[in-house]
Structure 1
Amino acid sequence: MVNVSCIGVGCCQTPIPNGIKDFTVSVKHSNVSEFNPCSFAFVVEEKAYKFSTLDLQNMQDKRAFPLVLDWAVGKQTCKDAKKNTAGYACKATNSNCFNSKNGPGYLCNCFSGYQGNPYLFDGCQDIDECKTRNHECADNACVNHMGSYSCSCPMGYQGDGWRNGSSCTPVIPKPSNSKNIIIALCISISLLVLLLGGSSVLLGLKRRKLIKLQEKYFQQNGGLMLQEHILNHGRSMETTKIFSNDELKKATNNYDESRVLGKGGYGTVYKGVLSDNKDVAIKKSKICDKSQIKQFINEVILLTQINHRNVVKLIGCCLETEVPLLVYEFITNGTLSDHIHDRSRASSLSWERRLKIAIEIARALAYLHSETSMPIIHRDVKSTNILLDDNHTAKVADFGASRLIALDQIEITTLVQGTLGYLDPEYFQTGQLTEKSDVYSFGVVLAELLTGEEAISSNRPESYKNLAMYFGSTLKEDHLLHILEDHIVNEGNIEPIKEVANLAKACLRLRGEDRPTMMEVAMELEGLRIMEKHPWGKDNQTTEETEYLLNTTTLSLNIDIGAGSSVSVVSGHDSMINQLVKPLDDGQ
């Protein structure tokens, strides 16, 4: 038994385990001298009391020993107590919870750097170490932060700011040579002026080079010829516009990918917004034939004057690029193909609406073949090249493969162009393109409108993958009703549908000379619609009355399409720029 250690004869100690609720002290001893039969036991806080052998001699004189009273909140752990937000005792924002070491319950403490009562909402407040001087910073170098502090020398002093480091000392400015400063400043300003001036000169040269290049392209692409024509024809060409390259760049956000409407093998179509907030479609092709410039300009001049409600209108062009850009008005409701072959849209195309669309397409093609100053053959009539506006009005579009026909010509010999499933079989055999080739393609579109089938489909038997063959064979076997779109047929329109089917069959005849003209097709379709609107004429109308009705229809049609009766055309169309600007494949 020695000082500080109560282990041995006459003295022993033992710790009280954590978590006990009560205890009893029992002292037993043996071989105790008669002069000192007393025993003592007491509870004392371990860190507050140091054993001394002298305590054994005057134990009776000691009235008290240091003792610490431990306490805790409740009987739950911190984890369980936090679940009950209302009863959770650690209210202060900057406080934490810890479990009691001596039994159940928990206690609260303020975070390091904070002081106060953690059991109150605002009980833990920041300790300003700089004011209490409870820090290790050099003089004037202490910077207080919430919950902490840092040491940094104030402005004009140098050092690390820590008391045990390099203390803050004033910065002594080095003597400067004002003459050298002025020289250095002048050199810097001169270099800056030279740099700005050089950049300005380079930008100017680059801009001038770009302007000259645009002027070169403008002349190469027939810009002067087009300008002269516009000036000579005044009001008749007032709708034709020659756009600058900068205008179209701005309209398409410099031809950003997000503006792409479609891409084909020969170029891209972008959506643009002009300065007057008008939406347009801009075709940017890749291939250009310089030998066809004059023909290209003539076609642009002619096509910009077309003003038919069912033909999308060419607004103008840009000639300042290597390949001319063509600008059209924009149509938002997609292609006829989208509406026919998308099952969710097809149901909205009733028989009446399909007949109306067929009539409008026929009107447009008849107008192009017969009513323009030079007949125009489209050469790529298909459902993806028929656009619909918000009222489901048909607009014939994409004249990228079309050609003008001189008045003394009836056919064009050309390379095979167009789309499989719509191509005139006679076109493959002779290499000669006539207006009847458009009639054949229109016949395929009519079959699509009636059946909802695609022009080429692997879902049909091998011998009937081609819709024209499948449609003709079905009519021959008198099975038309088996292939019609279900929702367009009712008891009242079976006969008109059969009439349209027979008209499609006539358009799909193998020999072009056996097919009707587009004008005849438009007249017959108009007559059918009039008959549907006036059912009183179906049963008892005489042959004489029918002929009169058709003659009346012919007159009405000539007035409508010959005058190009629409003033508000909603889209634009391409020229037959087959040799100069190649067509896209996306139907835009």
Structure 2
Amino acid sequence: MGARRLVVVLVHLVGFSWLITKNALPSFALTIGKPGCQTECGNIQFRNPITFWNCTHKETREALNLTGSPFLFSASENMFTAVSCNVRALMSSSSLDEVEVSAGCKSKCSTTNHLLKNCLDGVNCCQTTIPSYGIKTFSTTFQHETDKTCKYAFVVDQEWFISKFNNTKLDSFRDMDYVPATLEWSLNRYSKHQIYGTNLSALQLTRLLLNNSIRCLGDSSISSVNQTAALSVQGCYCKDGFEGNPYLLDGCQDINECQIYHPCHMHGAGTCVNTIGSYKCRKSKVKTGLIGFGSGLGALFPLIGSWYLYNFINEAKAIKRRKQFFKRNGGLLLQQQISSEEVNFEAKTELLNSKDLQKVTDNFNRDRVLGQGGQGTVYKGMLADGKIVAVKKSKIVDEEKLTEFINDVNILSQINHRNVVKLLGCCLETEVPHLVYEFIPNGTLSEYIHDQNEEFHLTWEMRLRIATEIAGALSYLHSATPIPIYHRDIKSSNILLDEKFRAKLADFGTSKSVAIDQTHVATMVDGTFGYLDPEYFQTSQYTDKSDVYSFGVVIVELLTGQKPTCLKRSKEGRSLATYFIMCMEENRLFDIIDPQILKEGKNEQMLEVANLAKRCLNLNGRYRPTMKEVATELEAIQKSIKTVSDQQNFEEVESLRTEIAEAWNVSNTIGSNPSTSIDIASLFD
């Protein structure tokens, strides 16, 4: 039992009765006193009056004043209530810490119903909670409205009010002067007195109570700070699982939950065993095991069925989604072109499904990423036959250009040139197309030019051979394929080197095929700064000469070892192409040639290559050579180097033969000297 009770309950603890009502209100008298003790003593009453306004034969009385007592109006059990049509009432008070607090409410009228129902709705009466700051007294005021009917206001126990005045008439209070209210009381936490049953007389207990000098006793009762009041006070409570009077020694008795509530039976949890302050549900091990096994088995079958159904639905959705992607990405058109008799069977593109692609790339493992670019991400993969491939996950393709994309894929699949990365297949069952290329192991040309190390560097002959091979590949794309193909993104990072350092042209993500009778492709400007044709940048018309310009920048990179753009150079020379032309015009070519190749090659050969690069970088595309012409000139320069090298080797061999012959003649002339014969003979060992 808690400390919050009607006063008639509280006074039984000290042997006399304090009532807050006109009559004794026997419905509130609960007999919980100690056996042998009286439950009433004397005729002490606390009256809780009703405040009237504009009521005939009714006087307005002052509210109950609890100042000086251990009692407070309970904020949780009481409600401030005003009864009448169109009433507005306000209660004001000072809390224990002298803070001014107030509460009020307003009701509205009902023209059809003059009964009291739920006052919280505000019809014919209204209610509000009282301030929870420790109210000991209060005053009530009415704000006058046009309605001059009799009005009532009071603090009342809410439970009593609902039970007595639900669906009653408004004038039910005319014959009443007082209503019951619930009070709280607490014990001072610093008290040194204790209650020992009958050791204290009723008078002594009363004085101790009024002086806040009592504290709790007994193992079954606990004390806690009263948070309702603004003071550090305590009240006595029975612990959970106990009931009774916490203010008596051993007054809190254990509740037998098994007999009263039957909790284990209600929940089917076994046999109930009562314990001090609680209970336990003892289960049968066999029954529990059988129930658990049956429940688990019963739950397992639906789970398995749900799992299979879930996988079946997901697989059906995945198949439908793959078909939609395949159709959207132009798979039907590519199938038609692949099956066409006009396409060379050996050059046909292999169509891979999405599951095979996931196996090839280990579900697109991040550890297998080879690189990322403007056109997509490249992964390293392995086919079922053990062949290493590069899988390019393209960026989203414009649906309006899918037909053009499929045509280009079909054309690229037919390219068969040793210096072009081979397109092996593609997958169109995914949201974005995936292209499968042959894997080139030795990285990009850009890495070897710009990230040189002492262990290995590209010699002059290797650089010239790489330039010749790429020129031949571009010449093939421009003039030897059924439909001319413009690469549109030629740069050193798109030139790969295989295990023998042979050059392979890669990344056809922005390539365009053009009709034979066309001279250019009109597109949005796209490419890499430093390699971009200035004429294309101004006109948005990409021609075969635009590829020539970009290749000219690559030649300059091979000659100088410098990057296509550099902020460290002067403003007008930040572009490598512009800087190279300036040095050529100022006869400072050999000042910018890579020192590593300057001592390896002949100046005449380097000058020839530089002049060719200068022609490729002409700002007017009409004056640039074609890729076929570029390839022819580079092949001629490479052959001249090979011829000179062969001539040098021949001269070295002839010189060695002459020396050997002369030594042989000397040995014949001095035949009598044995030591000399042995030395000459050792030359032939």
User: Which TM-score band applies after superposition, normalised by the shorter structure?
Assistant: 0.5 to 0.7
- Name the counterpart of 1:319: 428
User: Retained in 2: the 8 A contact 1:340–1:346?
Assistant: no
- Name the counterpart of 1:435: 544
- Name the counterpart of 1:479: 588
| One-letter code aligned to 2:508 | F
User: Retained in 2: the 8 A contact 1:347–1:487?
Assistant: no
Question: Which moved further from structure 2: 266-275 or 460-469?
Answer: 266-275
- Name the counterpart of 2:562: 453
Give, in angstroms, the shift of residue 183 of structure 1. 7.2
Match of 1:494 among 603, 610, 623: 603
Within 5 Å, give how 1:152-163 maps onto structure 2: none
Query: Any idea what the Cα deviations from partners look like across 1:117-152, whole Å, max 9, x if unmatched?
Result: xxxxxxxxxxxxxxxxxxxxxxxxxxxxxxxxxxxx
CA distance in 2, matches of 1:393, 1:273: 22
CA 235–418 in structure 1, closer or farther in 2 if over 3 Å, else same: closer
Give, in angstroms, the shift of residue 381 of structure 1. 0.7
Match of 2:311 among 203, 212, 219: 203
CA distance in 2, matches of 1:239, 1:204: 34
Question: Which moved further from structure 2: 383-392 or 283-292?
Answer: 283-292
User: Retained in 1: the 8 A contact 2:532–2:550?
Assistant: yes
CA distance in 2, matches of 1:198, 1:520: 69
Q: Determine if the alignment matches structure 1 residue 249 to structure 2 residue 358.
A: yes
CA distance in 2, matches of 1:188, 1:371: 72
Which runs of no fewer than 5 residues in structure 1 stay unpaired?
A: 1-172, 539-588
Higher relative contact order (CA closer than 8 Å, sequence separation 6+): 1
Give, in angstroms, the shift of residue 512 of structure 1. 0.2
CA distance in 2, matches of 1:383, 1:242: 30
CA distance in 1, matches of 2:473, 2:399: 31
TM-score (norm: length of structure 1): 0.59
Give, in angstroms, the shift of residue 270 of structure 1. 1.3
CA distance in 1, matches of 2:469, 2:489: 17
Query: Any idea what the Cα deviations from partners look like across 1:539-569, whole Å, max 9, x if unmatched?
Result: xxxxxxxxxxxxxxxxxxxxxxxxxxxxxxx
Which runs of no fewer than 5 residues in structure 2 stay unpaired?
A: 1-282, 648-685
- Name the counterpart of 1:394: 503
Match of 2:416 among 296, 304, 307: 307
Name the structure with the higher strand share.
2
CA distance in 2, matches of 1:454, 1:275: 40
Match of 2:458 among 346, 349, 353: 349
- Name the counterpart of 1:547: none
- Name the counterpart of 1:192: 300
Q: Determine if the alignment matches structure 1 residue 213 to structure 2 residue 305.
A: no
Query: Any idea what the Cα deviations from partners look like across 1:40-89, whole Å, max 9, x if unmatched?
Result: xxxxxxxxxxxxxxxxxxxxxxxxxxxxxxxxxxxxxxxxxxxxxxxxxx
User: Retained in 2: the 8 A contact 1:436–1:512?
Assistant: yes
Secondary structure of 1:535's match? helix
Alpha-carbon RMSD: 2.4
CA 345–467 in structure 1, closer or farther in 2 if over 3 Å, else same: farther
| One-letter code aligned to 1:229 | Q
User: Retained in 2: the 8 A contact 1:377–1:404?
Assistant: yes
| One-letter code aligned to 1:471 | F
CA 235–372 in structure 1, closer or farther in 2 if over 3 Å, else same: closer
Match of 2:470 among 361, 376, 381: 361
| One-letter code aligned to 2:518 | Q
Larger radius of gyration: 2
Query: Any idea what the Cα deviations from partners look like across 1:17-42, whole Å, max 9, x if unmatched?
Result: xxxxxxxxxxxxxxxxxxxxxxxxxx
Secondary structure of 2:483's match? coil
| One-letter code aligned to 1:311 | V
Secondary structure of 2:386's match? coil
User: Retained in 2: the 8 A contact 1:339–1:345?
Assistant: no
Secondary structure of 2:379's match? strand
CA 279–360 in structure 1, closer or farther in 2 if over 3 Å, else same: same
Match of 1:331 among 418, 440, 449: 440
Query: Any idea what the Cα deviations from partners look like across 1:151-196, whole Å, max 9, x if unmatched?
Result: xxxxxxxxxxxxxxxxxxxxxx96957xx97676555423211210
Within 5 Å, give how 1:65-464 maps onto structure 2: 185-233=293-341, 236-237=345-346, 239-265=348-374, 267-344=376-453, 348-464=457-573
Give, in angstroms, the shift of residue 219 of structure 1. 1.4
Secondary structure of 1:344's match? coil
CA distance in 1, matches of 2:538, 2:432: 33
| One-letter code aligned to 1:432 | Q
CA distance in 1, matches of 2:629, 2:361: 42
CA 489–346 in structure 1, closer or farther in 2 if over 3 Å, else same: farther
Query: Any idea what the Cα deviations from partners look like across 1:262-321, whole Å, max 9, x if unmatched?
Result: 223553221112222221111112322112222111111110111101111111110101
User: Retained in 1: the 8 A contact 2:460–2:601?
Assistant: no
User: Retained in 2: the 8 A contact 1:284–1:325?
Assistant: yes
Secondary structure of 2:527's match? coil
User: Retained in 2: the 8 A contact 1:243–1:317?
Assistant: yes
Query: What percentage of aligned pairs have identical amino acids?
Result: 51
CA distance in 2, matches of 1:449, 1:499: 14
Give, in angstroms, the shift of residue 490 of structure 1. 3.7
Give, in angstroms, the shift of residue 342 of structure 1. 1.0
TM-score (norm: length of structure 2): 0.51
- Name the counterpart of 1:121: none
CA 184–307 in structure 1, closer or farther in 2 if over 3 Å, else same: same
CA 526–209 in structure 1, closer or farther in 2 if over 3 Å, else same: same
| One-letter code aligned to 1:321 | T
CA 358–345 in structure 1, closer or farther in 2 if over 3 Å, else same: farther
User: Retained in 2: the 8 A contact 1:266–1:287?
Assistant: no
Query: Any idea what the Cα deviations from partners look like across 1:90-116, whole Å, max 9, x if unmatched?
Result: xxxxxxxxxxxxxxxxxxxxxxxxxxx
CA distance in 2, matches of 1:315, 1:396: 15
How many pairs align?
365
| One-letter code aligned to 2:525 | V
Query: Any idea what the Cα deviations from partners look like across 1:377-431, whole Å, max 9, x if unmatched?
Result: 1111111111111211111111111111111210111111111111111112222
Secondary structure of 1:295's match? helix
| One-letter code aligned to 1:290 | E
CA 191–536 in structure 1, closer or farther in 2 if over 3 Å, else same: closer
CA 502–176 in structure 1, closer or farther in 2 if over 3 Å, else same: closer
CA distance in 2, matches of 1:535, 1:189: 88
Give, in angstroms, the shift of residue 537 of structure 1. 11
User: Retained in 1: the 8 A contact 2:553–2:613?
Assistant: yes
CA distance in 2, matches of 1:235, 1:424: 35
CA distance in 1, matches of 2:351, 2:329: 12
User: Retained in 2: the 8 A contact 1:339–1:346?
Assistant: no
Question: Which moved further from structure 2: 352-361 or 275-284?
Answer: 275-284
Match of 1:521 among 630, 633, 644: 630
- Name the counterpart of 1:134: none
CA distance in 2, matches of 1:290, 1:487: 49
CA 354–329 in structure 1, closer or farther in 2 if over 3 Å, else same: same
CA 319–387 in structure 1, closer or farther in 2 if over 3 Å, else same: same
